[in-house]
Structure 1
């Protein structure tokens, strides 16, 4: 689309809300449109030739039908014959006939070429232009903005939860939704602005250069787009109110030289908006740019850490409260940074998830945990099981069971030596059936299943019983200050009673004081884990702890980590 405003010879009859370019800068006149054409329902794109609607109507009125290429060939074949016949029979009139035919031939040829190009540049679902055309429009808008001191902007708008919509309604239903959404979007902006479908559920908008254009203007535009979707859209007999996330980038903020870079800025802002939740607008800024650049650098450092074996497993023991018998160890991920500092999971797991590194990281910890278990077996240091945490991404992987089997076979261990810990929030989400399927497969193999951070989600008895959960790990929030906050005790007692009646083992996480340990033992909790025993340890320190710990009796705090 040609990103410029069009006015009539006297006033801005097409875009009356915009100042007339001829009045603003008389020394640089703009192409004008015959006022008679403005009586037809055509906008600037049709009048400029960027849309074929006006051309289609004119060609239809003069009776041209069918494919332009054959028409052009027939016209070219007939034109010389008519010209010769006109010369022989009518002498001079033959030249007149040929003079009228040849422009007609050229018109048909141009029309056909234009239609072929337009079809290639148009999305066949929504009728909007594609990415390349949008970027060219932004190039023109940027050039005009620089020349005249104006501001242009790009918006990227994406439908949220598109994957679930595809699974629910299929391609035909989703195409209906996209077409309806594109019509709603088009009605919310000016005729001089250009929408495009970028890919999948993502739309792009090029704003015609104007001044002023600030954050508040873009916020109002975002509100109009959100308002355009308040009325439900009927898809396959279901009323939908699709949610969107919006990113915007202004030319005066990004200092972009090309339309592609301006669009990239809006894309980065949209990605940030999607993480903030539905219906959010994020505008590109240098702060956002620096934050994204830092995040990408961090992700690259994490990839390098995986390549150089600097993602390591540390181990924390779990014991029975009754006799201090070792019941297992939990393997936790740590990052040994280049300056030999140890980074905790909270500092790098979000980046691993965002950059798609969770499967590789989880596999690394699984392999190290099983290797440590085999090493302790070889040294006569019996550890019943080792527990590893699996993320939602890993639990959704159809190859998970095969990878776990391969890791167990490599170390020569039986499946019941491995405990898989699953967050309660993963179990209650239920959005991905592959999670339940993989957990069932692991349980069928003989692996043990723990429900981690119990009490932080909304598990029901049905949720707990849906899979062969062996043990629930009670979250630290129910344990902290148990001796000083009497109101904690009834809630903890209810959890322990429910677990006992369901035949589940209970383990309290984050036990740090002797008073907490005593209260848990009195209430009937079976096992514990926490700093009261020891902090998480590297494998060498864990080996020393196993060798030197008393066989039974009370444990003491050992600060080795």
Structure 2
């Protein structure tokens, strides 16, 4: 068999691509490789007008190839058409796991099928759309003409608009949004099927960060950012073995007595190249790499070691607070692990505060999280509601999650001495907490005026740079000795009547 003339090939049904040449026979594509070896791939619609039904790839026709391989095979063939660029498009329904929990699997399956129809209706008959997994779709846009970024953004906007209308035009009982990432082959120096898929996933990853309903086109900037994230992820896995993860501690003061009410443990990564990194710089990478359970375990150990260090140093630290992520709180063995570490360290559970973001309990938490927090409270641990005022937690949830202290977010504290509206909002929080029998702590106190105002308003505890920045455990005793022995006495402004 010899490779035919291109014009004859198009008339006779040949498909010519990077893999060699082949002949389309119904549902089968027979490819002749460079070495003269025949390979049976599977159905790949020829570039040109085909019916919508034929573009649907049934499971029975994909027994030997995964859906990802179907897409890359089509991209390889499309790249062989040199006149125009090929485009890889990824569409993913936002927050589909939560949708399944709320509406059930059957409804989500219908949503997935409708999403596929919406995508195909907004593309051409020559384009291919495949359901990869979960709520993720991949489309290969045939190289039929010039596709600039603006044209693709318009296409993506039409897809998102159509998805948003499904709840009105069908019996689907939920509002759908999707994150979309795409790349055209002319954006890559040496495009291959696999590099196009990687670039499309990079663009989708950026869209996910800005979900819901975000669209991102691949660019060199996204590529550089993705490469940096991959380096950080690789370094993160080695950080624990190399001892680069440290706990820093920020003091909290009792407003009435001026004495230590505790410390909050904060994670720092001593990166060998990038220096000391704060959680905001690396936690997303840790989450993606599945390292949050290990990080949580490390922080528990270091925090309990710090309590032991303070006890031996004669520094009276009533309790320590540790932040727990949603994934950590979802660990069925969390209570067992904490109880074991407390027992081994000979530390009373009452000295450990579990800090939970308000956004965690403001949404529908699963039974494991609810059970874990209740069990930890029964064990004797305190539960702090962190960043209060940012997540719309209800009073019911404050009781439901055994919250013992509310930490008022620093966005409400900043400028409280001069902003009447800020003051009224904090007063409302303090009044509510008092009636619920819940203690309060103001975060982000940076000026003496803010501290004095909070003292007058009867806030229980304060924390922030005005007192001290987070520090290694070795520096805490020296800081405490200097702070509590300096000539400036703790503030003693009388508290208002509750």
Specify the TM-score bucket, using the shorter chain as the normaliser: 0.7 to 0.9
Structure 1 residues 59-104: Cα deviation after superposition (integer angstroms, max 9, x where no partner): xxxxxxxxxxxxxxxxxxxxxxxxxxxxxxxxxxxxxxxxxxxxxx
2:250 & 2:383 partners in 1: Cα distance? 18
Correspondence 1:554 to 2:469: no
Which of 112, 135, 141 aligns to 2:78? It is 141
Choose between structure 1 and 2: higher helix proportion.
1
Distance 1:281 1:190 in 2: 20
What is the aligned counterpart of 2:287 among 348, 353, 373? 353
- Distance in 1 of aligned mates of 2:123 and 2:25: 20
- Report the equivalent of 1:315: 249
Q: Which runs of 5+ in 1 are unaligned?
A: 1-25, 35-46, 53-112, 557-561
Confirm whether residue 366 of structure 1 aligns to residue 303 of structure 2: no
Equivalent of 1:270 in 180, 204, 213: 204
Scaled by the length of structure 1, the TM-score of the pair is 0.73
Partners of 1:502 and 1:356 in 2: how far apart?
37
Q: Is the 8 A contact 2:268 2:277 kept in 1?
A: yes
Name whichever of 308-317 and 523-532 sits farther off: 523-532
CA contact (8 A) 2:207 2:214 kept: yes
CA distance in 2 between partners of 1:472 and 1:515 (Å): 22
Distance 1:494 1:518 in 2: 18
Structure 2 residue matching 1:518: 3-state secondary structure = helix
Q: Does 1:190 align with 2:124?
A: yes
Report SS of the residue matched to 2:81.
helix
1:122 corresponds to: 58
The 1-side partners of 2:274 and 2:114 are apart by 55
SS at match of 1:381: coil
Cα distance, 1:27 vs structure 2: 7.6
Separation in 2 of the partners of 1:172 and 1:426? 27
Q: Classify 1:277/1:307 alpha carbon distance in 2 versus 1 (closer, same or farther; 3 Å).
A: same
Alignment CA distance shift 1:280-1:29 (3 Å): farther
1:465 to 2:402 alignment: no
1:453-532 alignment, distance < 5 Å: 453-532=387-466
Runs of 5+ in structure 2 lacking a partner?
14-22, 29-40, 44-53, 492-498
Cα distance in 2 for partners of 1:125, 1:486 equals: 68
The answer to whether the 8 A contact 1:126-1:197 is kept is no
Using the TM superposition, give the Cα deviation of residue 418 of structure 1 relative to its aligned residue in structure 2, in angstroms: 0.4
Measured in 2, the distance between the counterparts of 1:254 and 1:151 equals 10
Q: Take 2:113 and 2:354, find their aligned partners in 1: how far apart are those partners?
A: 45
State whether residues 330 and 386 of structure 1, in contact with CA within 8 Å, keep that contact through their aligned partners in structure 2: yes
SS in 2 for 1:151: coil
8 Å contact kept, 1:424–1:459: yes
Question: What RMSD, in angstroms, separates the aligned Cα atoms of the two structures?
Answer: 3.4
Question: Distance in 2 between the 1:518 and 1:216 partners?
Answer: 55
Q: Is the 8 A contact 1:506 1:525 kept in 2?
A: yes
CA distance in 2, matches of 1:140, 1:497: 68
TM-score for the superposition, normalised by structure 2: 0.81
Q: Is the 8 A contact 1:180 1:233 kept in 2?
A: no
Query: 1:387 Cα shift?
Result: 0.8
2:310 to 339, 360, 376: 376
Instruction: Evaluate the alpha carbon distance shift between residue 487 and residue 242 of structure 1 in structure 2; reply closer, same or farther with a 3 A threshold.
Output: closer
Q: 2:104, 2:457 → 1: CA distance? A: 53
Larger Cα-atom Rg: 1
Partners of 1:278 and 1:339 in 2: how far apart?
34
Deviation at 1:338, TM superposition (A): 1.7
User: Displacement of 1:292 after TM fit?
Assistant: 0.6
Q: Distance in 1 between matches of 2:66 and 2:290?
A: 31
Change (3 A) 1:551 1:434: farther
Query: Could you tell me which of 334, 340, 346 is aligned with 1:412?
Result: 346
Q: 1:373, CA displacement in angstroms?
A: 0.5
In structure 2, which of residues 10, 27, 33 is the aligned counterpart of residue 31 of structure 1?
10
Contact 1:195 1:203 in 2 (8 A): yes
> Taking structure 1 as reference, are residues 250 and 430 closer, same or farther at Cα in structure 2, changes over 3 Å only?
same
Closer/same/farther in 2, CA of residues 323 and 503 from structure 1, 3 Å limit: same
1:231 and 1:314, CA in 2 relative to 1: closer, same or farther beyond 3 A? closer
How far off its partner does 1:444 sit?
Answer: 1.5
| Corresponding position of 2:320 | 386
Separation in structure 2 between the aligned mates of residue 216 and residue 126 of structure 1, nearest angstrom = 34
**Residue 30 (structure 1) shift:** 4.8
- Specify the alignment match of 2:37 in structure 1: none
Is the alpha carbon distance of 1:308 and 1:279 closer, same or farther for their aligned partners in structure 2, counting shifts above 3 Å? same
- Equivalent residue runs for 1:35-114 within 5 Å: 49-51=25-27
Q: Do the aligned partners of 2:441 and 2:460 also contact (CA within 8 Å) in 1?
A: yes
> Following TM superposition, by how much is the alpha carbon of 1:291 offset from its aligned partner in structure 2, in angstroms?
1.1
Structure 1 contact 248–282 (Cα < 8 Å) conserved = yes
Q: Relative to 1, partners in 2 of residues 1:472 and 1:230: Cα closer, same or farther, differing over 3 Å?
A: closer
TM-aligned CA deviation for residue 241 of structure 1: 4.2
